[in-house]
Structure formats: C-alpha cells, structure tokens
Copies of this chain bind each other. A is one copy, B any other.
Amino acid sequence: MAINAVVWGENVHEQTNKVVQDIYPDGMHSTIAKALNADKAIKATTATLQEKEHGLTEKRLAKTDVLVWWGHAAHNQVEDEIVERVAKRVWEGMGLIVLHSGHYSKIFKKLMGTMCSLKWREAGERERVWVINRNHPIAAGLGERIEIEETEMYGEPFAVPEPLETVFVSWYQGGEVFRSGLTYRRGAGNIFYFSPGHETYPIYHNTDVQQVLRNAVKWAYNPAAPWTDILKAHNVPTPKAPEKIKQRGARLSAHPTEGKR
C-alpha cells in the first residue's frame, strides 16, 4: 500500500508575488506533491493554510503517514490548536519533513525545543549540497552532491539540537556553510529537515531535490501502529508490578485529590 503523504503549503507568496507565481503556477505544494507522486510507493495530496483547519483535520491527519511542511511568511497565522494536533501525530509516529523557511514554523520550533535561528542572505548565489552520510536512505540515487545555481544562503550557527544524523552539509558561494539535511526522532515520529527551497528560485523543479523529497518521505514513514497513548503517564499499580512487591511507605496517590496528573 502506498505511503499517504500530505504536502502542506502556506500558499501566500504564490498568490502575491509574480516571480513565485511564474515558477510555481499551481503553488509550491502542488509541484512538490507531483514530484512525490512520481514514485508509486507514495500517494501525495496537498493542504494549505487557507483551507478550513488549514486542511489538517483530525480525520485527515489520522490517515497521514508523512506530512511535508513548507511555510515562510505566515507562520503566525497557523493556529496553535492545529500545531498541537500535528505534534501529537508526530509523537504517535507520523513522519514530518520540514522544508527551508519552515525552520521557523511553529511546529518545527515546538518539536526541536529551540528557536531554530540561522543566518540568511537572498543573493541568488550558488549552493552545493554535499552528501555527508553516504548510503543513507535519504541520499539514495544521488551523486556526491547537488548543485543549485541560485539559492538563498542559510548560514550557521543553526540553533537546533544535535541531530540523530547529519545527511547533508551545504557550501555557499558567498562563503558560508549550513547543515542542510538533519534527522531527528520525537516519540515515534521521524523528522527530516531539508534547507533548500527558497520560493523565488525553481529549486523544487530540480530533479535531485525531488529525489531527496521522495527518499525522505520513504525514510520517515513508520509502519508501526500509532503510539496513541504517548500523552499518558500510565500507573502500574502495586499488584500489577512485574515482580511481586509489597506496598510500603507514604504515598500521595492514596489521596484521590492529590493523584499524579
């Protein structure tokens, strides 16, 4: 069965900026979804900020295996309730691919536990995305590097936690470097951050970049049944302890109103 991917697009600059419209006439999310659907193992649909509940209803998220996130100008318009909902699904096991300016999205900052700041410059310079972790599934089918002729520079320090793995590191013509592909896990959810993708350049039309996106969706997919009770602190009462023990000492939970949580 195909992996159910949802590509979430902020869909703002595509409506307001002629340059972006020309590159992505159907929206960036549509271009990305189309690239994912080129692999029969993936079935990608789209959702946008402007839809009701941003297109991310409980019902839809429950059936989503991997969510791809692109946002930039309107992070603050994403409702906190939806962010909580997405986070819960990630903890349960939904994969999450965060793209480019999504480093400043509410959901990424929430899952990282940091502010995810970085340096930036919009000069149309050259970027070279080096494969650091050869033979990692996310680098499948790539050569030693991806060349992006015009890009926005993202520079270190990138204020994120030490990753599980560094997959890509980027070189910029202007002299900076950036850890452009990083993996994390939060609860049962696999997370991949990938930095290329500024909207005024045709980066998601690059076939190597598209390959990374498909690889990432397949890598992030966790086929295990969702860890639906991850929000709960389970009490294991004394008679149910794996080893036989006797209750002793004082306890708070003896008093119902002082139960743990």
A→B interface (CB under 8 Å): 13, 16-17, 19, 72-73, 91, 93, 101, 104, 110-115, 117-125, 128, 130-135, 137, 140, 144-145, 147, 150, 153, 155-159, 161-162, 164-166, 169-177, 179, 184-188, 199-201, 222-225, 227, 230-238, 241-243, 245-254, 258, 260-261
Contacts and interface: CB of A to CB of B under 8 A. Distances in A.
A119 B245 CA distance: 16
Q: How many copies does the complex hold?
A: 4
Nearest to A173: B245
A16 B166 CA distance: 40
A248 B122 CA distance: 9
A208 to B, nearest CB: 15
7 contacts: A111-B114, A115-B187, A130-B157, A131-B157, A147-B242, A176-B236, A200-B252
Nearest to A93: B135
Contacts of A250: 19, 124, 200-201
Given A120-B234, A234-B120, A260-B120, A187 B159 contact: yes
Contacts of A110: 110, 113
Given A132-B157, A169-B169, A227-B135, A233 B174 contact: no
A109 B184 CA distance: 16
Contacts of A222: 135
Contacts of A201: 249-250
A260 B176 CA distance: 19
A249 B152 CA distance: 10
Contacts of A16: 258
Contact of A104 (B123, B153, B261): B261
Contact of A121 (B114, B179, B199, B236): B236
A114 B150 contact: no
B131 A156 contact: yes
Contact of A251 (B130, B186, B200, B234): B200
B236 A153 contact: yes
B245 A125 contact: yes
A222 B135 CA distance: 8
A252 B13 contact: yes
Given A118-B233, A119-B236, 12 more contacts: A17-B252, A17-B258, A115-B187, A123-B248, A132-B156, A132-B158, A137-B224, A155-B236, A159-B187, A161-B161, A161-B186, A166-B166
Given A104-B261, A261-B104, A176 B224 contact: no
